[in-house]
Structures are given as structure tokens and as C-alpha cells.
Amino acid sequence: MNFDPRFTGRKFSSVGTRPLRPDGIDKVTGRARYGADFNMAGQLVGRVLRSPHAHAVIKSIDTSKAEKLAGVKAVITAKDLPDLTDGDAAMYDILDNSMARTKALYDGHAVAAVAAIDARIARQALKLIEVDYEVLPHVTDVDEAMNHHAPLINDAIFTEGLEEKPVKASNVTKRTQFGHGDVHKGFAQADFIVERSFKTEQTHQGYIEPHACVASVNPDGTADLWVCTQGHFVYRQHCAQLLGLEASKLRVTSSEIGGGFGGKTHVWAEPVALALSRKAGRPVKLVMTRDEVFRASGPTSATSIDVKIGATKDGTITAAEATLRYSCGPYPGSWAEIGAMTAFACYNLENVKTVGFEVLVNRPKTAAYRAPSAPMAAFAVESAVDELAHELGMNAVDFRIKNAAQEGTRASYGPVYGPIGIGPTLEAVKNHPHMKAPLKANQGRGMACGFWFNFGGQTCVDLNIGMDGSVSLAVGTVDVGGSRASLSLVAAEELGIDYSQLKAIVADTSSLGYNDMTDGSRGTFSSSMATISAARNAIKILRDRAAQMWDIPVDDVVWEKGHAIAKGEKYGNLSALSLKDIAAKSGTTGGPIAGHSELVADGAGVSFATHICDIEVDPETGATRVIRYTVVQDAGKAVHPTYVEGQYQGGAAQGIGWALNEEYIYGKDGRLQNAGFLDYRIPVCSDLPMIDTQILEIPNPNHPYGVRGVGETSIVPPLAAIANAVSNAVGVRMTHIPMSPPRILAALDAEREG
């Protein structure tokens, strides 16, 4: 990578301003095209038949009656998606999850699919497919699944990471461990120890737009896929591998996205739509219903976590330990591992140990959900930290400040931190007016910290300058949170032109080099680095063209504020040439002017946030209401502060729903009982106060502008901040998320009964 990513501390003209969003008018007028808004001539409707059983052997599938139904153009089962994964276990799991091969592993698992001329016929056809199941015992609870008497979900899985190689198959796929020092010694030094167990229920990302795509496979082996995704290049790789297509012949175009939050980072129905199209010889549109999104896409883990923290009387934490059990659905994952890494990341600890267990259950395949795994770990740890502060008689903020990690601290997950923002967010919270505002009866205040890594990845950007001096920017990271605006600001900054001269688009997979998906808060971090690099490459060409126009050496031309300037007294009679002047002559100075960049953006800066929440609890009904909420978070550099604030508010809003209401509820039959927004209640505007935000900017030394990444950290503290607020309001420590009214009442009743 011929690009220096180091932070330079430059002054900004465009970056940090708040121009209008480029996609705003399309979105408020309904003109923006989402996944289900694409259509093709001759398009068929795809529908999926799903298992009603949580765990069952598929003995046989008879599709003959469905195939004979007039209007049905294709029926597929796993036989139409042969295993081409060549020993790639993770891809095999994605294939099996897309269409069950030998066993249905959860309520909602796809077992067959049809393509028909309309939705009515497609639904009729599904009813004509006969599946002979042998129903097996199931397990949906993470703790029960670890019991050695629990039904075994995959008898080929033996726990990884144990000192002795196991001889029996298990639902526990992996044990991981992090930490340093000696926790036994640390606890022996403690004057106070808090030890508690916590549970969090499974939640869904709750994106408003369901999974949707249109697939078109041509007889010559080429194919097109229009899809709502967080990563169209990754979808291309997955689908090409699963369908046996050449990646370069599968063009994937991403639509606008009505939310993803990690749930649209790998394929679900897309290989099915492509297989249907291949068999039918016509395009197929496949849109999940909300019921299907809940039952058969990728919610986050349910968890069970034990935490133990000890401290001396002066408030110094001497040891911290956590055991984290995370559900993965029926396929192996690394969700507890991430929880184990993030759990104590906010603190400076001499003795710390975390152990994670990945657990198979008969629920949908777990997917990433915004800072995946970190919110549950933070809930358990920050609840225990709060309780320990109370036992010590210390202010909860001061206790955290005393023990906060700082530059040079060894992180609980291993490395030593560079410059970080946990201390400044805590100081900002301590001094925030919110912390001093009075509370009324039945109200409580809580605060909590959160951490997320952020990361970069493979990135590619094209910057093209038109002959009229306007600039188009083609990026490959899907815009999930305002990256088209922020990247336009970055390009404007580098080129020295106005934001209005730029238009950014998300290019399809045939128009640009490979890009990793938009996850890990990498969109603006990575693509801004590539945009800076592309703009600087374009400036080299602009300088060269100006030199040609003046007939002087290029080394005598500099680029300042959007103009080529001939430096030196001998050029005193040469007026500066604007980008527009140079672009107008490009046809005779060498042709089109463009800047390209392909790089791996590494060195993303870790991110911290601290939240404050006031909550009111009705002690008779257990109903809760969030009265006030404040987010303080380090952005590194806020490129477009309005979008950054939106990310902070969005994370808090999702966290509020997760903390208070949202949960997957399974019946004893292993079927999901609440697969709809009426029974799975996400917060709506009337449930929420205005969420206040405060942006801190502690520059990331590994980005030219100091950018870190802001999309995920904001969902890490809310579960804990709200739990601490509820606990303070009712005087009972809440240990089970969501803190729904029945659960709060049960906790109050248990307290009264002693």
C-alpha cells in the first residue's frame, strides 16, 4: 500500500460540516429503491417452505404435486444446491442453513422452495410439497444445551479448546480464554467481592426492510443479483461458490438498505433465489415476510454469564473474572469469544480471566448484531461494577474513572492500548448536567461504559472527474449510515472543492474491485482512507495536466484549495487553474482524469462510550419509561457530525428496546411464539425521549484525519446503563434482560418475599 495513513492533525474545511444528505430526498419521497423495488420482465415469485419442527430428520421430500400445479415454474430442494464447498466448513454451514440437507435444525429452517407466476400459486405449491419428518428431541435454552443429557444437535462436533481432547460429541463447540495475571491472588487481596449470574434473551436486529432480492441466471452462465445487503462483494463470493458460478460473471448490485446492523452480512435466501432462477430459466424475486425474518434470518445470541469482581477499600479492582455462554444457533460460531474479549476492555486490570463457551441450540443461525456479543458482556460486567461501587460506598462514575484503562494499559484481551477515549468519556459524563438533574419518586439513574474494536479491511474507490469539473465517487462499501455524504466530504476536503460538486454512488461488483462488507464500523474508516488515496492520485494527474497547459515542469506545480498553482516568482504571470479549468482541457492533455485506490485499511482505532439513563418504573405494573438518555462517545473524528449523532442515537434506541422489551419466546414445542412486530416489540418514537449526544474526538493515529468508526459502540452500554437505572429505581438488582414488566414485578415480589 503506497499510502501513508498516519494522522497529521491538519485543519479542515469540509470535514466536520453538516451538509444535506445526498439520499435524503429520494428516501422521504419514496423514490429510493430498496431490495423489493427491483423488477424484471418475466419475473417469477419465489417462496420458501420452512420446517415447523425445531429438530427433525428429513426422511423424504415429494415435490411432484407442486411441480404439476399450473403456473409453477420450478421447485427446488437441497438436491438442487449440491455441496460445492470443498471442505470449507463455514460455507457448508451457510449452504445447509440456506436449504436443509438432511435435518431441519430449527423452526423456520428452509426445506424446499418454489418459483411461480404469482404469489398465490407459489403459496398453493408450498402446500402441495410433502415432507416426511422424523421429529427429534430439541433444545433451545443455552444453559440446558450445555447439560450432558441435552439432545445432541450435531454428533460430529467435539469441543475445541479443551486441554484434553474430548471423546464425546457435545453441543459446546468451542472454549476460549483470555486474560492475564492471577485472579486467585487478586481476589485474595480484595476487601469486597461481587459475584452474580446474568441472562440475556435472544433479540433480532429489527431492521425494517426484510431480506429481498431479484435473481436472474442466464443459460450462458452469467447471472445478476439485485439485493439488499451490507456487502454485495461478499454476497457475490458466497453465491458464486454455492452455485458453482464464476464470480466475475455474477454481477451483484446492492439496493438502498432499510437497516442491516450485522443481519445482512451473509447470505440467507439469495442462493435459493439464484437456484430457482437457474432451474426456471426466468428471473425470480424472493422477499422474506416478517415472520420469516424472525424465524429464519440471523438474530443475536441468548446468553448466560457469571461475573466476579473484587476490589480493595480504596476502590482499586484487584481481580475480575467472567464465564460467558453464548448460543450460536445450530452451527458453530465465535460469539462467546468476542464477548470474552470485550467484557473487561474498559478497565485497567492486573488480574483478569474470561472464558467463553459457544453453544449449539435449535434456534436460527446466530448472526452479527451491531458490536456483536459486546452488549451482553457489558451488561453483566457493568452491572457488577455498579454493585461493587455501591458496596464500597463510592460514586459509580468515580469508581470507573479510578479503574479505567488508558494509553499503555494492557487490555483484558491482550495487547497494550494506544491513545483511547474511555477516560475522557467518563470525565465528560461526570461533568454532564444530566448527572446532576434531580430525580422524582420511582425514578432511577444508571450509567455504564462500553467498548468495541472497530476494524478496516479490503477497500477500493474510483474517483472520476468529468469534463465540466464535477466529480463522481464510486465506492464499494454499502452506505448503511451516511457514508456517501461523509466520503463526499472527504473527497471535497482533499480536492479543495465544494461538496456540491461531488456525487458518490455505491458501485456494483462488476464496476469496481473487491470490497469487504460494511461491518465492524468500517464503512467510513476504510473508504475514507481509499478516498483520500484516490483523490491524491487524481491530484497528481491534475498537476501534470496543468503543467502541460502551462508548458512548465510538473514539479513546479502545487495543488492548493482546488487549484493548480505554479510556484516561484518566474511564474508570477500565470493565473491559478481551477479543477474545472483543467478538466475542460482534459481531452487534449491526455484524456479522462481519474484517481483510483485499492488498499487494505488496517489500524482501526478502538472506541469507547459512556451512557447515562434515567428511567421511571411503575411499581404496581412493572412498566418502565425512559425519561432521559445521554450518549458520550469518542468518534476519533466526526466527518459528518449529524450522521455520527444519528449513529449514537440509533444504537441507544436499539439498546433500549433490547433492555426493556425485545426477546425471542419459544414454546415447549421449540417453535417461535412471537414472530412479528406486534408480539416482538421494538421501541417506536413515542417510547423514546430525545437522546442527547456528545461527540468526543480523540484522534486515531492510524488514519490521516483521525477517524475511528462510530456505528457499533453506541449499542454496547445501553443494556447495562438501563439495568443500573432500573435497579436503582426499584432497589433490586436486575439480572435478566429484557427487563419486561413481568420480570420487574417478579423481581420485586421475590425481594418482598425475601
Partner 1 sequence: MVEVTLWGSLSAVAGGKARHDIEAKDIRELFRKLAEQYPGIEPWIDRGIAVAIDGTIYRDTWSKELPPGAEIFLLPRLAGG
Per CB under 8 A, residues contacting partner 1 are: 1, 90, 160-161, 163, 174-179, 205, 261-263, 265, 334, 337-338, 341, 368-372, 411, 413-418, 453-458, 519-522, 600, 602-604, 701-702, 711-712
Of 58 and 604, which CB lies nearer to partner 1 in the complex structure?
Answer: 604
Distance between CA 682 and CA 370 in Å, rounded? 16
Shortest approach of partner 1 to residue 32 CB, angstroms?
22
Of 469 and 711, which CB lies nearer to partner 1 in the complex structure?
Answer: 711
The answer to whether 580 and 468 are in contact (CB under 8 A) is: yes
**What are the C-alpha distances in Å from 250 to residues 38, 83, 295, 513?**
17, 19, 29, 14
Of 260 and 469, which CB lies nearer to partner 1 in the complex structure?
Answer: 260
Shortest approach of partner 1 to residue 176 CB, angstroms?
5
Of 645 and 712, which CB lies nearer to partner 1 in the complex structure?
Answer: 712
Shortest approach of partner 1 to residue 607 CB, angstroms?
12
Shortest approach of partner 1 to residue 312 CB, angstroms?
27
- What DSSP designation does 560 have? E
Of 161 and 281, which CB lies nearer to partner 1 in the complex structure?
Answer: 161
Shortest approach of partner 1 to residue 24 CB, angstroms?
24
Shortest approach of partner 1 to residue 658 CB, angstroms?
13
Of 363 and 628, which CB lies nearer to partner 1 in the complex structure?
Answer: 363
Of 601 and 617, which CB lies nearer to partner 1 in the complex structure?
Answer: 601
- What DSSP designation does 565 have? E
Residues 6 or more apart whose CB falls under 8 angstroms from that of 529 comprise 3, 5, 456, 459, 599, 601, 703, 704
Of 444 and 481, which CB lies nearer to partner 1 in the complex structure?
Answer: 481
Cell digits for 290? Answer: 416478517
Distance between CA 737 and CA 300 in Å, rounded? 13
Distance between CA 215 and CA 286 in Å, rounded? 8
The answer to whether 443 and 627 are in contact (CB under 8 A) is: yes
Residues 6 or more apart whose CB falls under 8 angstroms from that of 712 comprise 370, 371, 374, 452, 454, 520, 521, 607, 651
Shortest approach of partner 1 to residue 600 CB, angstroms?
4
Candidates 488, 493, 497, 475; CA nearest to 582 is 497
Shortest approach of partner 1 to residue 195 CB, angstroms?
22
Shortest approach of partner 1 to residue 434 CB, angstroms?
27
Shortest approach of partner 1 to residue 179 CB, angstroms?
7
Shortest approach of partner 1 to residue 674 CB, angstroms?
22
Of 205 and 403, which CB lies nearer to partner 1 in the complex structure?
Answer: 205
Q: What is the DSSP string of 155-190?
A: TT---BS-SS--SS--SEEEEEEEEES-HHHHHHH-
Determine the distance from the C-alpha atom of residue 166 to the mean position of all C-alpha atoms in its chain, rounded to a whole number. Answer: 34
Shortest approach of partner 1 to residue 305 CB, angstroms?
18
User: For the chain, how many residues are written?
Assistant: 754
Instruction: Estimate the crossing angle of helix 232-243 against helix 270-280, to 10 degrees.
Output: 50
* 3-state secondary structure labels for all residues of 87-139: CCHHHHHHHHHHCCCCEECCCCCEEEEEEECCHHHHHHHHHHCEEEEEECCCC
Rounded to 10 degrees, the C-alpha dihedral 200/202/205/208 comes to -120
| CA atoms within 13 A of residue 286's CA, in its CB half-sphere | 28
Of 111 and 422, which CB lies nearer to partner 1 in the complex structure?
Answer: 422
Distance between CA 195 and CA 738 in Å, rounded? 20
Shortest approach of partner 1 to residue 204 CB, angstroms?
12
Of 299 and 670, which CB lies nearer to partner 1 in the complex structure?
Answer: 299
| CA atoms within 13 A of residue 344's CA, in its CB half-sphere | 35
Of 97 and 216, which CB lies nearer to partner 1 in the complex structure?
Answer: 97
Residues 6 or more apart whose CB falls under 8 angstroms from that of 311 comprise 190, 191, 192, 193, 317, 318, 388, 392, 403
Candidates 502, 529, 504; CA nearest to 516 is 529
**What are the C-alpha distances in Å from 427 to residues 93, 424, 609?**
46, 5, 11
Distance between CA 404 and CA 4 in Å, rounded? 31
Phi and psi at residue 161, to the nearest 5°: 85, 10
Of 176 and 537, which CB lies nearer to partner 1 in the complex structure?
Answer: 176
